Amino acid sequence: MRRSMIPRLRALALLFSAAASTGCGGDGAMASQASFLNTRWRAVEVDGVAVTVPADQREPYVRLMSDGNRMEGWAGCNRLTGGLKDDAKGFEFIGIATTLMMCGPETAAFEKRYITALNAATEREVVGETLELRDSGGKVRVRFESLYLN
């Protein structure tokens, strides 16, 4: 599927989600809500720019694990690991580290932007199948979609 179709599909999904949550024409069942923890979150937007993944690369993601408040993921060329804090005082990633594989210039630039955005996150919100990480000014720095593995 072409990445340019993602915004249209996202809008369509939100429309269906809104109809399901209001009980429009159905049994009133609520739309699904992904769990913040123990879900694999695929990055779809960083600082307002859609994430595009070359055919020969894996897509960037994070997985936030409840056991030990850890995170792991993929930044485009390198693995991510670190800790996370999520409590009444706020949200933050702690000590994000990556492997040190050599990346092409475009992928390296994306990784730098992605990790900077992750480190800036102080708020998080899950709505349906979407996770948004915001900075202290309320700006969405990274938008993710849940990804379920078979």
The partner residues of 131 in beta bridges, in order of sequence, read 126, 144
45 plus 100 within the same structural domain = yes
What is the rounded radius of gyration, in angstroms, for the C-alpha atoms of the chain?
Answer: 16
78 plus 13 within the same structural domain = no
57 plus 115 within the same structural domain = yes
81 plus 113 within the same structural domain = yes
18 plus 39 within the same structural domain = no
pLDDT of residue 111: 96
112 plus 93 within the same structural domain = yes
Q: What is the CATH number of the domain that holds 58?
A: 2.40.128.270
85 plus 121 within the same structural domain = yes
16 plus 79 within the same structural domain = no
**Residues in Cβ contact with 114 at an 8 Å cutoff, skipping those fewer than 6 apart:** 43, 46, 60, 75, 76, 142
44 plus 106 within the same structural domain = yes
41 plus 61 within the same structural domain = yes
Domain count, the chain: 2
49 plus 84 within the same structural domain = yes
Range of the domain at 56: 33-147
CA–CA separation, 39 vs 62, rounded Å?
8
pLDDT of residue 4: 53
pLDDT of residue 112: 96
pLDDT of residue 30: 54
pLDDT in tens, the chain (150 residues): 445 545 554 544 443 444 444 344 444 445 678 899 889 999 999 999 999 998 888 999 999 998 889 999 999 999 999 999 988 888 999 999 999 999 999 999 999 999 999 999 999 999 999 999 999 999 999 999 998 765
42 plus 24 within the same structural domain = no
